[in-house]
Amino acid sequence: MSSTVSSRRSFLQLAGTGLALSGIGLGPATAATAPAARAATAAAGPVLLNFNESPYGPAPAAQAAARGIVAESGRYLFALAGELRDVFARQEGIGAERVRLYPGSSEPLNRAAVVWTSATAGLVVADPTFESLGELAAARGATVVKVPLRADGAHDVRAMVEAAKRINAGLLYLCNPNNPTGSITPADDIAWLLANKPAQTRLLVDEAYLQFSAQRSVIAQVMQRDDLIVLRTFSKLYGMAGLRLGVAAAHPDRLRELASLGDNPLPVTALAAGLASLREPGLVAQRREQNAQVRQATVEWLGKRGFRCVPSEANCFMVDVQRDGAAFTAAMAERGVVIGRSWPIWPQVVRVTVGTEAEMAAFRTAFAAVVGVNE
């Protein structure tokens, strides 16, 4: 699978987004707390466990809100973005002036590469991690240093700080939980990184998968710091990958720097679905538990058959298949189960998205057939 196809954000690049505000609202959402999963049958096509998408899609209340706003979508409905921004800020305990909305978290990620990296301001990332930022920074002439993850899957923050000093880094990227591993970097390590990184180096913490984890967010620290940017997305736990909605939280000066590349209104369907998702009581806890149960059952099944997984707290995990990862992925696809890929640093370790129980049963059947173990 090519890196272009496999990147969940590569198609977005630098389309602008805006947050102009005026005066219309959206009422509280009500919906069932148990969304129906899509069936993994031959008639429905292959089982897709490759892009870390939610197999459950938007919550019923979010779907209803998106449908309900279509009749009004002849207007920009700018105030809807302001309402969602305010609800998000209130729930996270930060000022609304430190929140900006984007179509997914890809766009602010890519903007960060343009704004804070250059031929004289490098980038430090983990290895493996999500590559979009590093690829764009390198294309702009920035020096990109990849620091291998620790054995436990955490970012090696001390090595990353040393690298940032060595290359005069303008930006340091930390995905937590990390993509592709789903592994956690403890909050104490992130605190150490913030206290010890070079003063000119911005820290971008990508929390796209945080809601699947018990790890606490660092988002509150944007109220005290001007060198921290935190990204969130509605693509993962909220199941809105195709609707495109994300958040950047940072000091107002940093948000203005990101916004310097242009603005564009957000789709009202995404805004309406996002508001409904934030207002859905128990949704995050229910989906977090659901994902953890299915993930852990699969990881335990693999472990009993001698296949090690990187510890994960996200909706994906990496498993050492003990053979060429690309060939293994192709063999799984031939059996109707499309999984993720391997990374150059770990060529025999592949990423698998956590699907429904039925989808993971199909994964186990295909896995057993490919490696020749009992199901």
Average pLDDT, the chain: 90
Q: What DSSP line would sit under 76-130, residue for residue?
A: --HHHHHHHHHHHHHHHTS-GGGEEEESSSHHHHHHHHHHH-BTTBEEEEEESS-
d(CA 61, CA 65): 6
For residue 159, count other CB atoms closer than 10 A to its CB. 15
d(CA 3, CA 8): 10
Pull the structure tokens for residue 140. 């702009």
Whether the link from the prior residue into 46 is cis, omega within 30° of 0, is no
Does position 351 have pLDDT exceeding 90, yes or no? yes
| Residue 145 parent element (H or E) | strand 144-148
d(CA 347, CA 5): 18
Pull the structure tokens for residue 166. 């060595």
Read off the pLDDT of residues 290-334 as tens digits, 9 standing for 90 and up: 999 999 999 999 999 999 999 999 999 999 999 999 999 999 999
pTM for this model (two decimals)? 0.89
Phi, psi values for residue 248, rounded to 5°:
-115, 130
100, 225, 255, 357 from 96: Cα distances, Å: 8, 15, 12, 39
DSSP code at position 173: E
Domains of the chain: 60-278 (3.40.640.10), 283-371 (3.90.1150.10)
At 375 the pLDDT is 85
Read off the pLDDT of residues 203-231 as tens digits, 9 standing for 90 and up: 999 999 999 999 999 999 999 999 999 99
Nearest to 108 by CA among 182, 13, 190: 13
For residue 236, count other CB atoms closer than 10 A to its CB. 26
| Residue 331 parent element (H or E) | helix 325-334
Read off the pLDDT of residues 240-299 as tens digits, 9 standing for 90 and up: 999 999 999 999 999 999 999 998 899 999 999 999 999 999 999 999 999 999 999 999
